[in-house]
Amino acid sequence: MKSMTVNVPENFAMNEQELSFFLAAKLYEQRMLSMGRAAEMAGLDKRTFIENVGKYGVSIFNYTVEELKEELENAKKYNF
C-alpha cells in the first residue's frame, strides 16, 4: 500500500488512526475501495472495520437499488 501525507490544522480533532479510518470508510461508501481494502487502509481486520464503520454514518450494506433488486430476484429462485 502506498503512503501519503495529509496536512491538517494544528487543532484538528482526529488523530492519524481516526483519520485513516474515516477516509477508508468514506472511500468504501463511495465504492472506491472494497471492504477488505478499506479495512486494510484503516489498519484493521474486516470484522473490526465492519463493527465500527457505522460511527461515520457508513453502512456495511453497500448496494445500489438495482443490485438489491437483483439479489431479491435471485433469492426468490431458491424459495427461502
Most confident of 4-8, 38-42, 55-59, 71-75: 38-42
- What pLDDT sits at residue 61? 84
* pLDDT at residue 75 greater than cutoff 90: no
pLDDT digits (tens, 9 = 90+) for 14-63: 999 999 999 999 999 999 999 999 999 999 999 999 999 999 889 888 78
Pairwise CA distance, residues 26 & 35, whole Å: 11
Domain boundaries, the chain: 16-76
Residue 80 reports pLDDT greater than 70: no
Cα of 39 vs its chain's centroid, Å? 7
DSSP 5-20: -----TT-S--HHHHH
Q: What is the pLDDT of residue 35?
A: 92
